[in-house]
Structure 1
Amino acid sequence: MNNVDKVMASAAEAVADIPEGASLAVGGFGLCGIPTVLIDALHAQGADGLRVVSNKAAWTARASASCWRPVESPE
């Protein structure tokens, strides 16, 4: 079995290949688990039209602070 090194040197490197219109699932646990560094790196990277799925309402607040607009879930 080959091990794959998934460690990146920076958050910017981790999000560099995320294209416009991508769908992302973002984890976390409460306010302390929000991946703020990755959110900021995505914002700086400039990809537009991202659909981000998270089960944390607090993440939406942070994402809104990064100039993203939350999208309501379809019923």
Structure 2
Amino acid sequence: MTTVSIATAKERLSDLIAKAEQGETIEIERNGKPVARILPADQAREAIDFVWLESVIREMPQTDDSGIRRLRDEDRY
């Protein structure tokens, strides 16, 4: 993985995109901390199917949260 600063990424964007096209991941840093990545398109995450996710959540059993609420309330005092 190639790591570059934001300034370098601005100067060399075309080169970095060419590297991504060849399968490389590029990490962009600000003040030495990673803030973004340029990934090859085939490695990018797929979009979340929120309709499917909502249906899964609806099918999950409902639990009694009174125990959690009691522990939370007791911890306050």
TM-score, scaled relative to structure 1: 0.29
Look at both structures and tell me which one has the larger radius of gyration over its CA atoms.
Answer: 2
More strand by share: 2
TM-score, structure 2 length as denominator?
Answer: 0.29
Q: Greater RCO between the two (CA within 8 Å, min separation 6)?
A: 1
Query: Higher helix proportion, which one?
Result: 2
